[in-house]
Amino acid sequence: MAAPSRPAVPPAASDEPALLRPEIAAMAGYVPGEQPQDEGWVKLNTNENPYPPSPAVADAVVAQLAGRAPAKYPDPLAGRFRRRAAEVLGVDPEWILCGNGSDDLLTILVRTFVGAGEAMRVPTPSYVLYRTLAAIQGAACEELPFAPDWSLPEGFAAPRTAAGLPVRLAVLPNPNSPSGTIVPRRDLESIADRFPGALVIDEAYGDFADADCLGLVRSHRRVIVTRSMSKSYALAGVRFGFAVARPEVVRELEKVKDSYNCDALSIAAATAAIADRDWLRGNRATILATRARLSVALERLGFAVEPSQANFVWCTHPRRPHRPLYEALKARRILVRWMQYPGWGDGLRITVGTDAEIDTFLNALGEILAST
Amino acid sequence: MAAPSRPAVPPAASDEPALLRPEIAAMAGYVPGEQPQDEGWVKLNTNENPYPPSPAVADAVVAQLAGRAPAKYPDPLAGRFRRRAAEVLGVDPEWILCGNGSDDLLTILVRTFVGAGEAMRVPTPSYVLYRTLAAIQGAACEELPFAPDWSLPEGFAAPRTAAGLPVRLAVLPNPNSPSGTIVPRRDLESIADRFPGALVIDEAYGDFADADCLGLVRSHRRVIVTRSMSKSYALAGVRFGFAVARPEVVRELEKVKDSYNCDALSIAAATAAIADRDWLRGNRATILATRARLSVALERLGFAVEPSQANFVWCTHPRRPHRPLYEALKARRILVRWMQYPGWGDGLRITVGTDAEIDTFLNALGEILAST
């Protein structure tokens, strides 16, 4: 209980045995997008929703704060959320597993399906975290490049890597980041028909797209869809995501998750959010309208812009190097994401902010392009 | 977006290749204590604090709910909490790693230090989750029995298991569950001097004990202390814990944790809670007084009671079987924890509730003992 005095740090003896697993010592660690803790930034770098969540969220959290609720362990399976989400999605509650953000679900999935020394497969350029999760697990991560039109390469469904390792898990973000593109349903179905491992379709941005893959979970027992509440429900700060999978798969994933991986406040928040369908429809319509305006304006500024199905836009400039643009914007306290993929190239990923934020961004970008 | 129709579940073909890692398919999964979601239970089974948390907690959470804060990603390292906890503990902030409950930290520690096919070591009877974490990792878990006086066995510091595997991590809960006992500081220091792997001292119940091991983190670079906010700060529903370790160890653990493992609401709640030292002192004094009364009353009812340094009491009855007592209490909507350890025996673990809850429990137990 008593506060002890400041520690004196003894030096580490250089002949001590290695403490860490060599995989951990060797890896660099995933670096998430910058999260400045001070105010005054136009933050278009981590695909947060620029609007506050449904007002029902705050009411639900405040109700949870009364009395002893914060002192009691939460429901391990978040039954309230499962029941409400099941109604929305048209599945039974036991098809749903809740997670502390969809990153938690991706971690659970890798640990459930991929052993040390085995392999998983992802497309590239895509979400860099997948590779990190493989490294932590001591597994290989085969990265197959997207075709120039962002379709999947032949071979994404192959049972083994080029080096001959069995591929236990493939992850396909759909819509993809950074491109914002989707793979057509018939191509996904063809992969699901042929790939012999677990196929995870990461629909973190699915609510902004024209179609989703829940139907594939029903028709293919090895398909798992993951969803995030961070983007489309404006709950990035609350950490809540869920997976949709067949019940016999969900029961296995439950063994691997932490017992109480979702807290009582986030369960209340997420349940209120997913129930407010009017809020989702209205927010989505606003984001999509701003996205269309942003895409046109970037093209007018000379960028090549991918048609986006997400809440961000991927753009490249045929002549101007991207990193100095990112840095000049940052100097004006506007954060976008400069992304570079070794052997592939780089570009800028711009989150769809409010109309005012996008105006600020476009004006600044126009000035930077004109002045340098 | 549209709610599809109810799924028809196609049968799984029996000749399909195994999807899961064999370790996951074979394991039973950790079963946490019962968490009834309906009202009206006297809940003395999962060591929750029977009182609401500091009033500062609700204020801090409500402040976070304003505006866009829930829509933005949280600080990945929970800097606000680290700075405040560092002041309380008398260490620098970079000695602290925050987790989504101390279960999250235990998961991170196992994944950082123990490779598949390697070994970790725990005492037994103890927290059963440790074994589950080893199984998920594909690692062996050597369980060394406590001595009858709950001191550690000779050999807890040995570099290898009896089967010859290197022991990469040892976990020692202190106070231990279910016993509520602590290992004397000089014994822990002797183990820390000799054990060549990472030594985790799980102080989930440390705030209820007479002493802690933060000093060992300072003097021994392989020692890591974990703490929970669930018990002593009455925040089980909020999921927040932290580890104290040397900064070079914390930096490695950061690679393995999920990027945003603590949400913005729980960071606010935990920061407010750890800052309210008066609340902690008052709550602790109340719990310790009730614990003393509970221990004496159980002895009067004929139980052997371990002297507890935690917020629960472990007791065994020399003549009455324990499971029927647990069941008779449950029939009266009083939950205690009946714990059975193969090859060792069983007993009842009773959480220190409010005085009124303990009166209800003792009256019921007295009646059950008298009537059967």
Give tens-digit pLDDT for A334-351: 999 999 998 899 999 999
Q: What is the pLDDT of residues B242-287, one digit of tens each?
A: 999 999 999 999 999 999 999 999 999 999 999 999 999 999 999 9
Average pLDDT of the segment spanning A109-137: 96
Mean pLDDT of B312-336: 98
Assess whether pLDDT exceeds 50 at residue A116. Answer: yes
Summarize pLDDT for B188-238 with one digit per residue, the tens.
999 999 999 999 999 999 999 999 999 999 999 999 999 999 999 999 999
Judging contacts by C-beta atoms under 8 Å, the chain B residues touching residue A281 are 1
What is the pLDDT at residue A4? 42
Task: Note the ipTM here.
Answer: 0.94
Question: How high is the pLDDT of residue A78?
Answer: 97
What angle, rounded to 10 degrees, do the helices at B55-65 and A55-65 form?
A: 180
Q: Residue B16 — pLDDT band, cuts 50, 70, 90?
A: low
Residues ≥6 apart with Cβ < 8 Å to B342: none
Cβ contact (<8 Å) for B238 and A69? Answer: no
Residue A67 pLDDT exceeds 90: no
Q: What is the pLDDT of residues B190-204, one digit of tens each?
A: 999 999 999 999 999
Token pair, residue B259, equals 């990027």
B106: helix, strand or coil: helix
Nearest Cα of chain B lies from the Cα of A372 at a distance, in angstroms, of 32
DSSP run (H or E) holding A213: none
Mean of pLDDT values over A266-281: 98
Q: Is B35 on the interface with A (CB under 8 A)?
A: yes
CB contacts of B67 in chain A (<8 Å) are: 52
pLDDT tier, A18 (very low <50, low <70, confident <90, very high otherwise): confident
Query: Which fold, B35-52+278-371?
Result: Aspartate Aminotransferase, domain 1 (3.90.1150)
Q: In what order do the strands lie in the sheet with A167-173?
A: A96-99, A241-244, A223-228, A198-202, A167-173, A119-124, A140-145
Mutate to test the interface with A, among B41, B266, B281, B337 (most CBs of A within 10 A): B266
Which pLDDT value is given to residue B218? 95
Looking at the complex, does the CB of residue B20 fall below 8 Å from at least one CB of chain A?
A: yes
pLDDT tops 80 at residue B292: yes
Q: Tell me which of A102-106, A201-205, B22-26, B350-354 is least confident.
A: B22-26
Q: Which residues of B touch A170 (CB under 8 A)?
A: none
The reported pLDDT for the residue numbered A372 is: 76
Mean pLDDT score, B103-109: 98
As a whole number of angstroms, the distance between CA B303 and CA B315 comes to 6
B285–A contact, CB cutoff 8 A: no
Q: Which among B52, B89, B265 has the least Cβ separation from residue A265?
A: B265
- Rg over CA atoms, chain A: 22
Residue B139 — very low, low, confident or very high, per pLDDT cuts 50/70/90?
very high
Phi, psi of A359 (to 5 degrees): -60, -45
Using pLDDT thresholds of 50, 70 and 90, give the confidence band for residue A16.
low
Q: Please give the Cα distance from A92 to B226 (Å, whole number).
A: 38
Query: What are the tens digits of pLDDT across the range B293-315?
Result: 999 999 999 999 999 999 999 99
Partner residue facing B238 (CB), from A107, A264, A269: A264
Kindly identify which residue of chain A lies nearest to residue B78, measuring between CA atoms.
A37
Mean confidence (pLDDT) of chain B: 94
**Mind spelling out the 3-state secondary structure of A88-150?**
HHCCCHHHEEEECCHHHHHHHHHHHHCCCCCEEEEEECCCCHHHHHHHHHCCEEEEEECCCCC
| DSSP per-residue codes, B153-179 | PTTTT-SB-TTS-BEEEEEEESS-TTT
Residue of B nearest to A108 (CA): B136
Listed residue (A81, A127, A124, A114) closest to A243, CA to CA: A81
Domain ranges of chain A: 33-50+278-371, 55-276
Q: Specify the higher pLDDT residue, B68 or A208.
A: A208
Give the DSSP H/E element, type plus range, for residue B122: strand B119-124
Res. B1: pLDDT tops 50? no
Count interface pairs A-B at CB distance under 8 A. Answer: 311
Q: Which residues of B touch A265 (CB under 8 A)?
A: 61, 237-238, 263, 265-266, 269
> Which residues of chain A are within 8 Å of residue B76 when distances are taken between CB atoms?
32, 35
Average pLDDT value for residue range A311-332: 98
**Separation CA B135–CA B116 (nearest Å):** 9
Pairing assessment for the beta strands A345-351 and A334-341 based on DSSP bridges: antiparallel
Whether pLDDT at A8 is above 60 = no
Mean of pLDDT values over B351-365: 98
Q: CB of B218 within 8 Å of any CB in chain A?
A: yes
Over residues A357-364, the mean pLDDT reads 98
Residue % of chain B over a pLDDT of 70 = 95
Q: Is A346 helix (H, G, I), strand (E, B) or coil?
A: strand
| Nearest chain A alpha carbon to B93 | A6
The stretches of A154-276 forming alpha helices (DSSP H) are: 185-194, 214-219, 247-256, 264-275
Q: Is the pLDDT of residue A208 over 50?
A: yes
B residues 93-152 closer than 8 Å to A (CB)? 95, 100-101, 103-104, 107, 111-117, 129, 136, 138
Given CATH 3.90.1150.10, say whether it is the number of domain A33-50+278-371. yes
Residue A34 has pLDDT above 60, yes or no: yes
Check: CATH 3.30.70.100 for A55-276?
no
Residue A38 confidence (pLDDT): 85
pLDDT in tens, B58-101: 999 999 998 788 999 999 999 999 999 999 999 999 999 999 99
pTM of the model: 0.94
Q: How confident is the model at residue A69 (pLDDT cuts 50, 70, 90)?
A: confident
> Which residue in B24, B73, B169, B225 has the most chain A C-beta atoms within 10 A of its own C-beta, making it the best mutation to test that interface?
B73
Q: Summarize the confidence of residues A315-341 as an average pLDDT.
A: 97
**Nearest to B329, CA basis, from B364, B369, B358, B294:** B364
